[in-house]
Amino acid sequence: PVKLAGGINGYQYVPNPTGWVDPLGLSTCPDGDKCKPSTSVEDPTAKTHVNEGSPLSPTSSNSPPTLGYHNETFANKPVKPEETIQKWDEFLGPGPHTNTNPRTGKPDRDRIVSSDAKRSIRYGAHEMNSKPSKHHYHEETWTFEMKTNTMNVDNTVVRVPLKKK
């Protein structure tokens, strides 16, 4: 049905394909103009416009992401000291593990980071020097938002009660 009524663009679709179906070509054109080609030509530049502003560039940069939200929750049950390393391995997944901070990209002596840099265990002086009943570590899950260059952290505090000395 393309070009039944003529026109300047032979690759356009017809206005109403169900009304223009005539496989044997026995009917006259559906419009009142009897399929005369259009003499007016649309100016293709009439609908174009130019944005005079500066071009948009990706938001990704070489600067480290800013810290977004930091949600902290507490684990339902404490972990026995002898099960701690096993729990860390389960949380971090297969290695190799690093100490590279997922947000800054710099070494962090208080963190063990998973190979995909999406999970980390934080266990530093603050956690080690807590009272025996408050001894704990943090399971951190990192989420990067590329659009805003922001790194969010979901943090679960896991208690590891120690025996009093």
What pLDDT does 1 receive? Answer: 47
Check residue 140 and give its pLDDT.
92
Q: Which residues of 19-41 are buried (b: 16+ CB within 10 A; e: fewer)?
A: ebeeeeeeeeeeeeeeeeeeeee
Residues 60-84 have pLDDT tens digits of 556 777 778 788 889 999 899 898 8
Confidence of residue 145 (pLDDT cuts 50, 70, 90): confident
Residue of higher predicted confidence among 56 and 158: 158
Q: Is the pLDDT of residue 28 over 80?
A: no
User: Is the pLDDT score of 14 beyond 50?
Assistant: yes
* Higher per-residue pLDDT: 18 or 89: 89
- Domain ranges across the chain: 1-41, 67-159
- The whole-number pLDDT of residue 54 equals 59
Sheet containing 66-74: give its strands across: 66-74, 150-159, 136-145, 119-122, 111-113
pLDDT of residue 118 exceeding 80, the answer is yes
**Do the beta carbons of residue 72 and residue 157 sit within 8 Å?**
yes
What lies within 8 Å, CB to CB, of 98 at 6+ separation is 112, 113, 115, 117
Q: Which residue has the higher pLDDT, 21 or 131?
A: 131
Asked if 164 and 152 touch (Cβ cutoff 8 Å), the reply is no
Give percent of the chain above pLDDT 90: 10
Report yes or no: 66 and 104 within 8 Å, Cβ to Cβ.
no
Residues 34, 29: Cα–Cα separation, whole Å: 5
The C-alpha angle with vertex 23 and arms to 21 and 29, in degrees rounded to 5, equals: 55
